[in-house]
Amino acid sequence: MSRGLLLPVLALLACDKEPEGPAEAPYSDCDPLDAGLCALPWPSTFYMEEDATTSSGWRVNLRPNSLPMNRDGVQIKPDSWNQKDGFSTLGPFMFYFRDVDPSLLISHQDIGAYAADDARVALIDAETGERVPIFVEVDGTAEYTREQLILGRPVVPLKHGHRYVVVVRGLKTLDGAEVELSESFVQLRDGTPATSWDVEGRRERFESDIFPVAEKAGFARAELQLAWDFVTISRESSLGGAEWMRDDAAERVGAEGPAYTITSVEESDCSTGASIGRTLEGVMTVPLYTELDGPGTKLTRDADGLPYYNGDAQAEFTVRIPCSLLTEPRAAFVLQYGHGLLGSRGEVRTGYLSDMANRYGWVLIATDWTGMYEDDLSAITLMIANDPSDFGILPERSVQGFIHQDLLLRLARGGLVNDPNLIVDGTPLIDPDRFGYYGNSQGGILGAGYVGMSTQIERAVLGVGGMPYAVLLPRSADFDPFFLIFNAKFDDHRDIAFLIGAFQTLWDVGEGAGWARSMVSEPGEGQAPKQVLMQVGIGDAQVTTLGAHIMARAYGASLVTPQTREIWGLTEQTAPFEGSALVEWYYADGSEEPIESVPPNKDGDTHECPRREPAAQDQLRDFLEDGVVNQYCEGVCEGLRSETCP
- The verdict on 177 and 324 lying in the same domain is no
Strands (DSSP E) contained in 183-295 are 224-231, 260-267, 276-287
Q: Is 378 left (phi over 0), alpha (psi -120 to 50) or beta?
A: alpha
**End-of-domain residue from the set 233, 268, 293:** 233
Provide the pairing of β-strand 121-125 with 48-50. unpaired
> Using one digit for the tens of pLDDT, what is the confidence trace for 576-635?
999 999 999 999 999 999 999 999 999 999 999 999 999 999 999 999 999 999 999 999
Q: Binning pLDDT at 50, 70 and 90, where does residue 572 land? A: very high
pLDDT for res 475: 98
Q: For residue 106, is it within any domain? A: yes
pLDDT over threshold 70, residue 17:
no
Q: For residue 30, is it within any domain? A: no
pLDDT over threshold 50, residue 643:
yes
Counting the structural domains of the chain, the total is 3
Q: Identify the DSSP state of 272.
A: G
- The verdict on 169 and 253 lying in the same domain is no
- The verdict on 343 and 458 lying in the same domain is no
- The verdict on 228 and 319 lying in the same domain is no
pLDDT for res 2: 42
Q: For residue 409, is it within any domain? A: yes
**How many other C-beta atoms are found inside a 10 Å radius of the C-beta of residue 192?**
10
- The verdict on 156 and 305 lying in the same domain is no
pLDDT for res 19: 55
- The verdict on 260 and 176 lying in the same domain is no
pLDDT for res 265: 99
**End-of-domain residue from the set 233, 256, 272:** 233
- The verdict on 122 and 254 lying in the same domain is no
pLDDT for res 517: 97
**End-of-domain residue from the set 181, 207, 233:** 233
pLDDT for res 12: 42
Report the distance separating Cα 528 and Cα 542, nearest Å: 31
- Laid out side by side, the sheet with 93-95 consists of 93-95, 150-154, 134-138
Please enumerate in sequence order all residues whose Cβ is within 8 A of that of 117, keeping only pairs 6 or more positions apart, or say none: 218
The reply to whether omega before 529 is within 30° of 0 (cis) is: no
- The verdict on 278 and 191 lying in the same domain is no
Q: For residue 143, is it within any domain? A: yes
Which whole number is the average pLDDT over 195-203? 97
pLDDT over threshold 80, residue 8:
no
pLDDT over threshold 50, residue 474:
yes
Q: Binning pLDDT at 50, 70 and 90, where does residue 18 land? A: low
Q: For residue 482, is it within any domain? A: no
Report the distance separating Cα 556 and Cα 290, nearest Å: 34
Distances (CA, A) of 497 to 143, 325, 466, 469: 12, 50, 19, 12
Please enumerate in sequence order all residues whose Cβ is within 8 A of that of 392, keeping only pairs 6 or more positions apart, or say none: 80, 298, 299, 506
Helix 235-253 × helix 442-453 angle, to 10°: 80
**How many other C-beta atoms are found inside a 10 Å radius of the C-beta of residue 178?**
11
Q: Smallest Cα–Cα separation from 527: which of 112, 224, 235, 111?
A: 235
> Using one digit for the tens of pLDDT, what is the confidence trace for 294-317?
999 999 999 999 999 999 999 999
The identity of residue 315, as a single letter, is A
Say what the pTM is. 0.95
Query: What domain range is 632 assigned to?
Result: 441-467+511-646
Report the distance separating Cα 410 and Cα 455, nearest Å: 11
**Chain-wide mean pLDDT for the chain?**
96
- The verdict on 288 and 323 lying in the same domain is yes
Report the distance separating Cα 232 and Cα 165, nearest Å: 11
- The verdict on 141 and 95 lying in the same domain is yes
pLDDT for res 21: 81
Q: Identify the DSSP state of 26.
A: P
> Using one digit for the tens of pLDDT, what is the confidence trace for 237-284?
999 999 999 999 999 999 999 999 999 999 999 999 999 999 999 999
- The verdict on 168 and 197 lying in the same domain is yes
Distance of CA 431 to the CA centre of its chain: 33
- The verdict on 271 and 337 lying in the same domain is yes
pLDDT for res 11: 45
Q: For residue 260, is it within any domain? A: yes
Q: For residue 25, is it within any domain? A: no
